[in-house]
């Protein structure tokens, strides 16, 4: 049994690799994840590695008591011959502000410009990747998980089970999500993840209906009858055979779900329910852009471009996965 599973995933991986563009998507996603994880080493006003007075320090990663609230330029000025410091490529922190430099366009000092408080946009975009990526995964992860299972059962069994499940689905669909968000914000400590969990828990209805629709279509098909004839148990039929064929819309939904989650985060930031300040996020920069839209194009174009790259990457990976899993596409 174990050998068969291994072979299955190896096959899938090989299929996946065959579509070059899907691999590119995967690489992009990996790059985004790296950026998110390594953010403090990419954009910081402290050096990544520093040799000072014969000792090595890593101020970007570790918080040393003697270097707290110290301006490293002053430390560098006191360097001896053998001392050195390697700074990250972008020399700003996401909360560092400068009112004199506010609302400047892209230029030498700030590659992507500054926001209305003089904070560097490139830095905030780098750190913002953390929020945007995880927001997508959390919300979408939850609702794909719930929705797929729900829709599969409802669509496969039909009859009374479908009637009850569909009614539950309708109740959740018509639910005033926004109210729940307000309640959650009021009671729980400020965190975008709480909101995303709420969105996940209330947003699975779309996926559920899609999957249900697919199952209604698929269950009367031959391969299901064949599987039954072969004596496969119900569970395997549902979640292995049928689901694999129903995944097409699920992947599309997931892709747009992630982009949607990021845009929802932006709308929520705009209304004030997004990430608590000063946490940077693409959505937060976008929300700010509205006030200055007449001239500060950089506040919208760059996060917009980042969102575009993200959804394209996820979309390519999603389509690649779907094509790889679908047995009919095997070459």
- Return the residues of window 232-271 that contact another protein according to CB under 8 A: 245, 248-249, 251-252, 255-256, 259, 263, 266-267, 270-271
- Mind giving me the DSSP string for 143-176? HHHHHHHHHHHHHHH-HHHHHHHHHHHHHHHTS-
Q: What would you report as the CA-atom Rg of the chain, rounded to the nearest whole angstrom?
A: 25
310's enclosing H/E stretch is: helix 298-325
- Based on the shown chain and the rule CB under 8 A, indicate whether residue 174 belongs to the binding site for another protein: yes
Interatomic CA distance for residues 136 and 254, integer angstroms: 9
Q: Which of 8, 9, 84, 175 binds another protein (CB under 8 A)?
A: 175
Subset of 83-112 contacting another protein (CB under 8 A): 95-97, 99-100, 102
Shortest Cβ 32–another protein spacing (Å): 15
3-state secondary structure at position 298: helix
Q: Give CA angle at 266 (264, 271), nearest 5°.
A: 95
Phi, then psi, of 88 in degrees rounded to 5: -65, 160
Subset of 203-232 contacting another protein (CB under 8 A): 205-206, 209-210, 212-214, 216-217, 220-221
Tokens of 31: 């790059």
Subset of 23-62 contacting another protein (CB under 8 A): none
- Based on the shown chain and the rule CB under 8 A, indicate whether residue 326 belongs to the binding site for another protein: yes
Shortest Cβ 111–another protein spacing (Å): 20
Query: Quick one: which segment of 29-37, 81-89, 131-139, 321-329 binds another protein (CB under 8 A)?
Result: 321-329
Q: Which of 105, 106, 141, 304 binds another protein (CB under 8 A)?
A: 304
Give the closest residue to 218 by CA, choosing from 191, 247, 196, 197. 247
Subset of 138-167 contacting another protein (CB under 8 A): 158-159, 162-163, 167
The footprint of another protein on this chain (CB under 8 A) covers a number of residues equal to 83
Tokens of 240: 């292995």
Q: Which of 8, 17, 34, 170 binds another protein (CB under 8 A)?
A: 170
- Based on the shown chain and the rule CB under 8 A, indicate whether residue 178 belongs to the binding site for another protein: yes
Query: Quick one: which segment of 9-17, 45-53, 75-83, 291-299 binds another protein (CB under 8 A)?
Result: 291-299
Going across the sheet that includes 84-86, the strands are: 55-57, 49-52, 84-86
Subset of 114-133 contacting another protein (CB under 8 A): 116-117
Tokens of 322: 């779907």
Shortest Cβ 44–another protein spacing (Å): 15
Give the closest residue to 94 by CA, choosing from 48, 134, 129. 129
């Amino acid at each position: 049994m174990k050998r068969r599973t291994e072979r299955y995933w190896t096959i899938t991986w090989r299929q996946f690799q065959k579509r070059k563009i899907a691999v590119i998507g995967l690489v992009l996603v990996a790059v985004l994840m790296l950026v998110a994880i390594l953010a403090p080493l990419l954009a910081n006003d402290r050096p990544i590695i520093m040799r000072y007075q014969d000792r090595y320090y890593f101020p970007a990663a570790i918080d040393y008591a003697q270097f707290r609230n110290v301006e490293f330029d002053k430390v560098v000025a006191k360097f001896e011959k053998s001392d050195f410091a390697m700074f990250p490529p972008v020399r700003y922190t996401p909360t560092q502000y400068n009112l004199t430099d506010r609302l400047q366009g892209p230029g030498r000092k700030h590659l992507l410009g500054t926001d209305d408080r003089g904070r560097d946009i490139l830095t905030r975009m780098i750190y913002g990747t953390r929020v945007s990526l995880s927001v997508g995964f959390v919300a979408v992860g939850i609702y794909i998980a719930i929705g797929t299972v729900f829709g599969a059962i409802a669509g496969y069994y039909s009859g009374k089970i479908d009637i009850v499940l569909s009614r539950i689905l309708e109740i959740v669909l018509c639910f005033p999500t926004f109210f729940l968000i307000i309640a959650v914000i009021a009671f729980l400590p400020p965190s975008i993840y709480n909101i995303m969990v709420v969105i996940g828990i209330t947003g699975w209805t779309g996926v559920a209906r899609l999957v249900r629709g697919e199952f209604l279509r698929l269950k009367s098909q031959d391969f299901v009858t064949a599987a039954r004839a072969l004596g496969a148990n119900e569970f395997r039929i549902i979640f292995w055979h049928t689901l694999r064929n129903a995944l097409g819309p699920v992947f599309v939904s997931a892709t747009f779900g992630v982009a949607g989650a990021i845009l929802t985060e932006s709308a929520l930031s705009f209304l004030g329910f997004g990430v608590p300040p000063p946490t940077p996020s693409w959505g937060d920069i976008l929300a700010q852009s509205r006030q200055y839209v007449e001239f500060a194009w950089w506040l919208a174009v760059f996060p917009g471009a980042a969102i575009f790259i993200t959804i394209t990457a996820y979309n390519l990976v999603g389509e690649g996965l779907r094509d790889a899993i679908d047995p009919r596409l095997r070459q």
